[in-house]
Chains A and B, each alone.
Chain A
Amino acid sequence: MSVQQLSRAASDAAPEPTPPPRPARRPRNPDAIWRVYFRKPLVRVAMPILVIIILASVIGPLLTGDPFATNHPTFIPPDAEYPLGTDNLGRDYLSRVLLGGQVSLLVGFSVALLCLTVALIVGGLAGFYGGVLDTVLVKISEFFQVIPGIVLALVAAAILGANLGIIVAILAVTMWPGVARIVRAEAMRISQLGYVESQRAAGFLSLRILWSDVLPNAMPPVLVATTMTVARAILAESGLSFLGIGDANRPSWGALLNQAQPYISTAWWLALFPGLCIFIVVLAINLLGDALNDALNPSIGRVK
């Protein structure tokens, strides 16, 4: 170790209570990031759980029978024949829960995808060009920080009606500013970096710089925020449908909880399983998001 290194290290270490992490440099190679990511113990637990639940929701109903058939006895507690019991109309609850998963997951992922798209466009333009659009974006996200989105979503759904598309749209409207704020901050930071400025000076079309340099480099924190948005959207949808705002023909986990509440004193399983599914899925997604954050920014995740 050279003296310079030694002295630099010593001076770094001395005044801080703990040594500052090395400058956060993201591993350039995406493969390396994923390798780090999939090696994390939490990912190794959460990822299979999430994948299993997604697969079960998509394929499951084909195997477990008709979720709408009422030809079973009513209020059977979980047993060998009906793993999750049956409900008040004699429907197989396992099929119902799996079907509910379809809706919940569909809403969660579509909302996140919509948010990501809108956020990339608005946040990217706002951060890259600044100006009026930027001011407007900041104001909008301040607005949604103050006014609780779920209340607006409730009103909107109550007035506009509640099919799946409208629910997704409403949730996306209340959630995109959160992601856009991050895109904006990143776009702002990146567009001030040397290589972007030099490209601008060289006369490249700004939109092309935004598309090919700024946005790709802004992705890491944006991906983390999007992951968290999936979780938040699933939770928000479950709240809405628990309150009875949802697609009556396609009951999500929240809607199942809504239907379970009247029978809570006799049929505990009706309330237990859909909620447990929401909890596990949201927890898995949150953990995956946290781990992604760690993998992309090794310095931030580490507790100093």
Chain B
Amino acid sequence: MTTTESRAAQHETARPDASERADAAFLEVAGLEVHLPTGPRKEIQAVQSVSLRVHRGERVGIVGESGSGKSVTGRAIAGLLPTNPRVRVAGSIRFDGREMVGAPARAWDEIRSRSVGMIFQDPLTFLNPVMKVGAQVREAITPDERSGRDAAADPEAIRYLKLAGLADADDLARRFPHELSGGQRQRVLIAIAIAKRPDLIIADEPTTALDATVQRRVLNTLDETVTTLGTSLILISHDLAVVASMTDTIYVMYAGRVVESGPTRQVLTSPQHLYTQALLRSVRSLTDDGVDLWSITPELRREIDAIVKDGANA
């Protein structure tokens, strides 16, 4: 833990009253490193010295192509990495100054049941197929706020489902996930994430599995609920347009590292890093529905690669 603490000390040390200060971050990630096993004796470093901070009510975007480590970062922050002893996390993750790296499972359960909500990518597989959606939302509500005898029709759960944009929640709460449309299911996941009234919601590619028109509407709902509840948001996406429209701050990740970060507008209008520039070009060069981040040429990729590695060594 000593290395962790010394690394954290380089940054601003969180104080107990941090949340009251405008410039103090609610979430502080410093020098985060994640190793994932990829085979019997092989592993990769999926995240390398990533630091980021999220203030109360702030919206942070993490962009990058698949495999850039953005999802792993998001999961690490929520303590949702695979429960495999070979998954190693180092560095520091602090919620209101409370260090979570190396914290016991109970502490993580508490953080997840109160402070952090997570919205996942695939709305079908992330819902339990044999449990009514109302009951699944109810589970996320703090026990003393639950009411109603019928687990599937808890008025509180229905309230959150409505907040997540499901107008006919009274009916839908009694249904099973497969009876809902993709957009509806994604709204159920949003309802689950907000039902604990968290301080922070981490949305990992929340609309990738939906078609374009539904995407827009679900994102609007996410936008509205986050505003209504005053929740901080980490939006993880490969879709620059989505991140641009919804976040205040942006982190660009490549090959497990943050290559550029700053206010969203500033980063997108005057990108400093070659990769960010390439990313923006590849988006602009294509129509909206054909966003393709893999159109970066191999030559450019080698160049970016060299820069990223140099940056790491420097």
Given a CB threshold of 8 Å, the question of whether A touches B is answered with yes
Residues on A lying within 8 angstroms of B by beta carbon are 2-4, 6-19, 22, 302
Cα-based distance from A7 to B308 in the complex (angstroms): 14
**B37 near A13: Cβ-Cβ < 8 Å:** yes
**A7 near B36: Cβ-Cβ < 8 Å:** no
Closest Cβ of chain A to B308, distance in Å, is 8
Cα-based distance from A172 to B66 in the complex (angstroms): 53
Contact of B82 among A6, A9, A11, A16 (CB under 8 A): A16
Given contacts A12-B38, A14-B71, A19-B37, contact A3 B46 (CB under 8 A): no
Given contacts A3-B301, A10-B36, A10-B72, contact A17 B82 (CB under 8 A): yes
| Residue-wise interface mask of B (65-96) relative to A, using a CB-CB cutoff of 8 A (1 in contact, 0 not) | 11111011001000000111000000000000
Cα-based distance from A15 to B72 in the complex (angstroms): 8
Chain A: which residue is nearest B75 at the CB level? A14
Known: A6-B255, A19-B38. 9 other contacts (CB 8 A): A6-B67, A7-B68, A7-B255, A8-B67, A9-B44, A13-B37, A13-B72, A17-B82, A19-B39
Closest Cβ of chain B to A25, distance in Å, is 14
**A11 near B66: Cβ-Cβ < 8 Å:** yes
Interface bracket on B: 20 to 34
**A13 near B84: Cβ-Cβ < 8 Å:** no
Chain A: which residue is nearest B301 at the CB level? A3
Cα-based distance from A9 to B37 in the complex (angstroms): 10
**A3 near B255: Cβ-Cβ < 8 Å:** yes
**B83 near A17: Cβ-Cβ < 8 Å:** yes
Any chain A CB within 8 A of the CB of B256?
Answer: yes
Q: Which A residues lie within 8 Å of B84 (CB)?
A: 17-18
Closest Cβ of chain B to A24, distance in Å, is 14
**A13 near B66: Cβ-Cβ < 8 Å:** no
Cα-based distance from A11 to B18 in the complex (angstroms): 35
Any chain A CB within 8 A of the CB of B248?
Answer: no
Cα-based distance from A15 to B38 in the complex (angstroms): 12
The 3 closest A-B pairs by CB, nearest first: A7-B67, A11-B67, A13-B36
Q: Which A residues lie within 8 Å of B39 (CB)?
A: 19, 22
